[in-house]
């Protein structure tokens, strides 16, 4: 079954930590979907053929952007909103 693409502007909460150390996003953090682009899009990179979800989040007053493969996004988000 194909994974659904999240809608631009929708917000989600992470159900697991993403990354380690500086720049890591903690479980429970809210992220907003900026866009979903094809793998290999210039400036985004290759995710093995999967679409890439670009999300933004707030970190100590700064807006940060992270790219995730569509399957990684679905593994990491718990709930919309």
Nearest in space to 78 (alpha carbons), one of 10, 16, 26:
16
As a whole number, the mean pLDDT across the chain is: 88
Q: Which residue has the higher pLDDT, 52 or 47?
A: 52
DSSP helix, strand, coil percent of the chain (3-state; round to 5):
10, 40, 50
What confidence score (pLDDT) does residue 59 get?
A: 83
Q: What is the pTM of this model?
A: 0.86
Q: What is the mean pLDDT of residues 4-9?
A: 93
What are the pLDDT digits (tens) for 12-46?
A: 999 998 888 877 888 999 999 999 999 989 988 88
């Amino acid at each position: 079954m194909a994974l659904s693409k999240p809608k631009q502007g929708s917000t989600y909460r992470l159900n697991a930590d993403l990354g380690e150390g500086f720049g890591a996003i903690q479980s429970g953090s809210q992220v907003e979907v900026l866009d979903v682009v094809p793998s290999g899009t210039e400036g985004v990179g290759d995710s093995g053929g999967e679409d890439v979800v670009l999300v933004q989040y707030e970190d100590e007053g700064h807006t940060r952007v992270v790219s995730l493969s569509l399957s990684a996004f679905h593994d990491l988000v718990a709930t919309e909103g």
